């Protein structure tokens, strides 16, 4: 199975570029599943329903959110109606939406996609490790599901690595989101799980993690609140990871980074 995960979309530049490039990527890479983190798509904060619809129309199979899940209030009723839009599964019971979904491919194969959120330097949610373990107890990789993709939305690299090693051999891919900087540690762990600490953002890298650099930088100089940050609007780099899994086991056979457009060094997985 061929899976593409795209990192956090930031603002109009990011979402327009992803929407423009995704159809060709699906064809060129022969993709079976596309998962996109879209929690910063709406002016850098949250996701609006019409933007979710545009990303699904462009070829995303599943969208994930994160700590900005509730920044656009109108997404709350949308979550209840659209199971392919996920918020972190370790929000407390009763929170709107779901943290996982079974995506059914055109050929009938089933893929579990989940998102959990870390707790170091983040909101004090329920334990993401226990929540993930409880969910995975209901599925068997290579059996009840052909693949399992986990988006771990977290600040600390150590927590992301600990999470990946904890579930090595149980999932196809653990990919980090949230920090908006693509890491160079893509690898297949000893148990067969593909891992990268952060997929990077899909947005303008002439910025401070996707936001206009002047306003963001002055906050560090003065330590005073200023105007609301706004997304940078220059050419975007689409960032993500490509994973190919073994059809028999669901474990990863290869993982490669993807970077297209914008300022960063380009990287395209081999077809």
Give which of 242, 262, 115, 125 is closest to 201, Cα–Cα.
Answer: 262
- Write out the catalytic residue numbers: 68
- Distance CA(6)–CA(197), nearest Å, equals 13
Tokens, residue 188:
């297949």
Compute the half-sphere exposure of residue 73: CA atoms within 13 Å on the CB side of its CA.
Answer: 0
Which three-class secondary structure state does DSSP give residue 135? Answer: helix
Q: What are phi and psi of 3, to 5 degrees?
A: -125, 135
Helix (H, G, I), strand (E, B) or coil at 222: helix
| Residue 26 DSSP SS3 | helix
């Amino acid at each position: 199975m061929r899976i593409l995960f795209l990192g956090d979309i930031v603002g109009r530049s990011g979402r327009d570029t992803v929407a423009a490039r995704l159809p060709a990527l699906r064809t060129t890479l022969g993709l079976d599943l596309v998962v996109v983190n879209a929690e910063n798509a709406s002016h850098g904060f949250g996701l609006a329903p019409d933007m979710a619809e545009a990303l699904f129309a462009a070829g995303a199979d599943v969208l994930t959110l994160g700590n900005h899940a509730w920044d656009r209030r109108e997404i709350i009723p949308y979550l209840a109606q659209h199971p392919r839009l996920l918020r972190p599964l370790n929000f407390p019971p009763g929170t709107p939406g779901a943290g996982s979904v079974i995506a059914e491919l055109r050929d009938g194969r089933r893929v579990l996609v989940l998102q959990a959120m870390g707790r170091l330097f983040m909101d004090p949610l329920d334990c993401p490790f226990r929540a993930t373990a409880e969910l995975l107890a209901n599925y068997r990789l290579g059996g009840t599901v052909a693949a399992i993709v986990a988006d771990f939305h977290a600040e600390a690299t150590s927590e992301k690595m600990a999470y990946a090693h904890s579930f090595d051999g149980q999932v196809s891919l653990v990919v980090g989101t949230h920090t908006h900087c693509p890491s160079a540690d893509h690898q297949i762990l000893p148990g067969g799980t593909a891992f990268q600490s952060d997929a990077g953002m899909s947005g303008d890298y002439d910025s401070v993690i996707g936001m206009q650099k002047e306003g963001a930088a002055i906050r560090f100089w003065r330590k005073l609140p200023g105007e609301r940050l706004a997304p940078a609007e220059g050419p975007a780099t689409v960032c993500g990871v490509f994973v190919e899994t073994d059809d028999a086991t669901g474990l990863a056979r290869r993982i490669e980074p993807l970077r297209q457009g914008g300022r960063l060094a380009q990287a395209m997985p081999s077809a």
